[in-house]
Structure 1
Amino acid sequence: MFQLDEEAEERIEFICRMDLIGRSIAAAVVHNAAGPLLRSSRLSKHIPRVAMRKLLFNPNLRAGNLPALFADLAREYGPVYQIRPPLRKPMVFLAGTEINRWTNRHGRMHLRARDYFADFEKVYGASGVLPSLDGADHFRLRKALAPAYSRRRLADQMDDLLRHARKHLAEWRVGDTLSATKMCRRMINSQISPMFVSVESQDIFDDVATYKERALNVHITKALPRFMLKTPGMKRRARAVDTLLGRIQSVHTPAQRAGCPRNLADDLLSLNASDPQFVPESNLRFALSAALIASVYLGDAFSFTVYAMASRPDDYARIRSEADALFSDGDPGGDDFTPAALDFTHRFLMECLRMYPIVPMSMRTVMNACVVEGYELPVGTTILIAQTAPHFMEDVFRDPFKFDVDRYRAPRHEHRGHGYAPYGLGTHRCLGFRWMELQLAVNLLMVAHYFTVKVSPADFRFRFNPFPSMKPSKKLKFLIAEQVRELPA
């Protein structure tokens, strides 16, 4: 079409060849560049390794204060670091406010809970229980069970809660010295068991709790070998779970439950009847015994609050003052426990949950590769999110080792943001935390209203017992020093 000289034709041909070469190179790059599944990003930072010497000689480790330990390590090594215990796989830890923020916003897209919980749920013959689910099934089950764990349901049964609490307090005798952990767990279980599953279980509670803790130490923390769950003592305690299940099923026929307030067992049995594929019968052994497992965690939280109150006489007096005001005109209703009525007590409980969190970290498996704070986490990596580490970071909470209830008042409001996380993060945040807050407050107020409790021994130096979850040292005891007023008959 156009007349071109020889030089122009050669130039056009040369440019065309260059284009073909470029296309070939581009195609080769596309076919040979591995995706994130097969390669590591060259731009991500190397995850630092914690020196075992610094870990073992950390004073917070010796005190059992895992959140403070994780905060110290994050301060020195950054928000992502790894620990390589002898004869164990490397453990990757994430800690800091930005980690909490990322987990809340993006964790559900990159992390799953199923892997670490699989062996534990098998102990109960279950598969796909609430803590091990993710995605749509997890959302659906949480939504179905939310009413059972709601503050509203507890508030509507306040008369029953007060009655169960008084019945247990009537067993206390002035001059008695009681184990802190056992005393508080049994007090909480005396309420949780009849209100969640409509049966009394104090006679088997210790066996169920001991079996559960051994299973956690074997299958979650990996602190004990598997055969430790198959000893004669553990087999005997495992039968207590079946005893509990039999009791629950014997009192939960439709005719027996007619006209009774709905509880957790009703909701679970209804889900099993309406959709046995979603909530199969094989999962009920775990799900129904979860009520007593809740008594363990809530009881340990209660033991921390009683210790904090008993070791601070001025705070004890202020909590008692709020309790006396609430009970001055008879028993309060569920709606009487307002923020104004519980101003000091509520802030006191928040500070207890900051300094003494029950579950200091969460274990997850990376299901979609991601980069967090500049560190790449490949698919299949097991990570431990230390969501409570910011509780002991000075840039989040001023003077973090000081018990200070005023940090939650204006203008400080130090709990606002992602640094305060006593109930977990993201989609796996504790479903019943509102119930827990109200029940803790009611029990603490009742103890202050009726009794004076003291720490025993008087010179007790506080330490944590951190495994499988945080609780006070076994050496902590409470002395029932005085009964301030008579319990109603």
Structure 2
Amino acid sequence: MFDLDAESEQRIEQICNIDLIGRTVGEAVKHNIASPRVQRIVGIKEYPKVHWRYLLRNPHLRSGNVPALFSDLAGEYGPVFQIKPPFSQSLIFLAGPEVNRWVHRKGRNFLRSADYFADIEKVYGAHGVFPSLDGADHFRLRKALNHSYSCNRLEGHLDTLYARIRKFVADWEEGALLRPASACRYLANTQISPLMAGIDTQDVIDDLIKFKERVLLTHVARVLPKFLSHTPGMKRRAKAIESVVERVQFAHTPAQRVGCPRNLVDDLLSLHASDPQFLPEANLTFFLSTPALASVYLGDMLGFALYSMASHREVHESIQNEADALFGAGDPEGEDLSKSAIDVTRRVVMECLRMYPTIPMSIRNVMNTCVIEGFELPLGTRVHVAQTATHYMSDLFPDPLSFDIDRYLPSRNEHLGTAYAPYGLGTHLCLGFRWVELQLAINLLMIAHYFTLEVFPADRPLRLSPFPSMSPSKSLRLKIAEKRHKLPA
């Protein structure tokens, strides 16, 4: 159409080539942006589906023993499997020693807790509370509150702890029957609320427990419809939460705290005052009410420990010997409660936590696509990490259904490693687990010092209540067979 000289034709050809190069580079960049950096593994495994016939025939399902149940499921179906509840989406479960190691070492890079806890945050009008935090903020909050949950802090409150325990058990008489499911929760709450929050919540603890359990069943376990968390009864119990927060605030004015040992609430209020953006006022309702709610878990642990002590006579006598040595000539100081002085009691607590962990699994959401044991977990998948399933695997804990405190002797040390996980794994490991173990040991020692307990009737097997957390069945009874020492007035 046009007459062009050779130089012009060459220039046009160069421009066309540059355009082709640009298009090629553009497609390559577009491909890199659209495609994941982590390449999918060819031949990825499908999640095995648990057969309902196998599940319903499992004896641990009927007894409520969640860790033993998931140990069996992991042995039958592998480390990753799914359960399809009726009229609901499939639930993905992870269990086994390889899973525990992976979660403990790498879980922080692939799993997060914010998603499953979001609905509970809405209930409290909060955002970014302790259980829902991940990453740098979670690390910073743990570091700020580390001393608040330490054994050193508890040792500074020993006089209050001893007095609270004695006051609660003062009306226990020989021949009386105890209901650990309720009595141990009250006993724990009469200690935790004053120690951590400086108040007494015994008059509202029943409402607090019902509120917590309903919220967990509707928003976390999702076994109940969400509208049940907005009933008139729940609104009344929510006011009990508000009253607890008001009590805490009234008890922590500067004038009232003069000369008092620091507690968790003091540390929280100091953190809020120093950095209100990191710990805003909107989150204080949740944080200030948690001590009373946390007493539920401590109480259930104590109930299991009392049952284990009462059902094993030799263990009971060994704990009594340690208790008499410590409390026979007065109350022990913090340094007196050494590992050697409470060796049997400490191992009893550890074995109870292995056999009856109150929180047997954790819920997380996948934030980065990952592969574990050949199974891909896509972005956004909700997984249930049954970290305590390993507690009932015979290759890790021989004869796992037997109560054996010798597992924790130096010659065996079966608890070392990630197979023993009653407090969780990874960055979300329970911050106050040392406090919990010491407080449980002190409760066991003092009760054994003053009383001898028996299971009533003697041949009654222990039944567990698995939801929303593992606790002793309400049918469990303990009998006060002997009152060994007179309680001080």
Alignment of 1:414-429 (within 5 A): 414-429=414-429
Counterpart amino acid of 2:158? M
CA distance in 2, matches of 1:410, 1:201: 41
Match of 2:202 in 1: 202
Alignment of 1:455-470 (within 5 A): 455-470=455-470
CA distance in 2, matches of 1:111, 1:90: 19
Further displaced range: 326-335 or 99-108: 326-335
Match of 1:443 in 2: 443
Counterpart amino acid of 1:102? W
User: Unpaired segments of 5 or more residues in structure 1?
Assistant: 1-19
CA distance in 1, matches of 2:482, 2:233: 38
Counterpart amino acid of 1:407? R
Cα offsets for 1:358-392 (capped at 9, x unmatched): 10000000000111111111100000110000000
Q: CA deviation at 1:413?
A: 1.3
Alpha carbons of structure 1 residues 148 and 202: separation in structure 2 relative to 1, 3 Å: same
Alignment of 1:108-257 (within 5 A): 108-257=108-257
Any idea what SS the aligned residue of 1:486 has? Answer: coil
Check the 8 A contact 1:157/1:334 in 2, yes or no: no
CA distance in 1, matches of 2:295, 2:111: 28
Alpha carbons of structure 1 residues 40 and 56: separation in structure 2 relative to 1, 3 Å: farther
1:258 aligns with 2:258: yes
Further displaced range: 165-174 or 330-339: 165-174
TM-score norm. by structure 2 comes to 0.92
Q: CA deviation at 1:288?
A: 0.9
Q: CA deviation at 1:43?
A: 3.4
Alignment of 1:287-436 (within 5 A): 287-436=287-436
Counterpart amino acid of 1:290? T
Alpha carbons of structure 1 residues 204 and 125: separation in structure 2 relative to 1, 3 Å: same
Any idea what SS the aligned residue of 2:277 has? Answer: coil
Counterpart amino acid of 1:131? P
TM-score norm. by structure 1 comes to 0.92
Match of 2:89 in 1: 89
Q: CA deviation at 1:229?
A: 1.8
Match of 2:282 in 1: 282
Counterpart amino acid of 1:206? D
1:49 aligns with 2:49: yes
Counterpart amino acid of 1:325? A
Any idea what SS the aligned residue of 1:254 has? Answer: coil
Cα RMSD (Å): 2.1
Q: CA deviation at 1:257?
A: 0.7
Counterpart amino acid of 1:238? A
Q: CA deviation at 1:128?
A: 0.9
Counterpart amino acid of 2:159? D
Cα offsets for 1:377-420 (capped at 9, x unmatched): 11000001100000000110001111111111132211112110
The size of the alignment, in residue pairs, is 469
Cα offsets for 1:99-154 (capped at 9, x unmatched): 11111111011010000011112212211100000011111111111111111100
CA distance in 1, matches of 2:231, 2:257: 38
Cα offsets for 1:300-336 (capped at 9, x unmatched): 0000000001111111111001100111221100111
Counterpart amino acid of 1:380? G
CA distance in 2, matches of 1:461, 1:424: 27
Match of 2:484 in 1: 484
Counterpart amino acid of 2:170? A
Alpha carbons of structure 1 residues 33 and 313: separation in structure 2 relative to 1, 3 Å: same
CA distance in 2, matches of 1:80, 1:317: 43
Check the 8 A contact 2:189/2:292 in 1, yes or no: yes
CA distance in 1, matches of 2:369, 2:132: 20
Check the 8 A contact 2:418/2:425 in 1, yes or no: no
Counterpart amino acid of 2:157? Q
Cα offsets for 1:407-455 (capped at 9, x unmatched): 1113221111211000000011101000000000000000000012222
Check the 8 A contact 2:454/2:481 in 1, yes or no: yes
Counterpart amino acid of 1:64? G
CA distance in 2, matches of 1:188, 1:32: 57
CA distance in 1, matches of 2:313, 2:200: 35
Counterpart amino acid of 1:350? M
CA distance in 2, matches of 1:224, 1:381: 21
Alpha carbons of structure 1 residues 408 and 170: separation in structure 2 relative to 1, 3 Å: same
User: Unpaired segments of 5 or more residues in structure 2?
Assistant: 1-19
CA distance in 2, matches of 1:198, 1:371: 47
Any idea what SS the aligned residue of 1:93 has? Answer: strand
Check the 8 A contact 1:457/1:476 in 2, yes or no: no
Q: CA deviation at 1:32?
A: 8.0
Counterpart amino acid of 2:64? G
Q: CA deviation at 1:80?
A: 0.8
Which portions of structure 1, spanning 4 or more consecutive aligned residues, are displaced by more than 6 angstroms?
27-30
Q: CA deviation at 1:172?
A: 2.1
CA distance in 2, matches of 1:122, 1:174: 48
Q: CA deviation at 1:42?
A: 2.1
Q: CA deviation at 1:38?
A: 10
Any idea what SS the aligned residue of 1:31 has? Answer: helix
Q: CA deviation at 1:273?
A: 1.5
Match of 1:64 in 2: 64
CA distance in 2, matches of 1:434, 1:131: 18
Q: CA deviation at 1:28?
A: 6.7
CA distance in 1, matches of 2:232, 2:174: 38
CA distance in 1, matches of 2:31, 2:451: 75
Any idea what SS the aligned residue of 2:246 has? Answer: helix
Any idea what SS the aligned residue of 1:383 has? Answer: strand
Match of 1:6 in 2: none
Match of 1:452 in 2: 452
Check the 8 A contact 2:363/2:382 in 1, yes or no: yes
CA distance in 2, matches of 1:31, 1:474: 60
CA distance in 2, matches of 1:65, 1:369: 32
Check the 8 A contact 1:37/1:369 in 2, yes or no: no
Alpha carbons of structure 1 residues 271 and 72: separation in structure 2 relative to 1, 3 Å: same
Any idea what SS the aligned residue of 2:146 has? Answer: helix
CA distance in 1, matches of 2:389, 2:24: 52
Check the 8 A contact 1:387/1:421 in 2, yes or no: yes
Check the 8 A contact 1:175/1:481 in 2, yes or no: yes
Cα offsets for 1:260-305 (capped at 9, x unmatched): 1000111111112221111111111111111011100010000000
Check the 8 A contact 1:37/1:379 in 2, yes or no: no
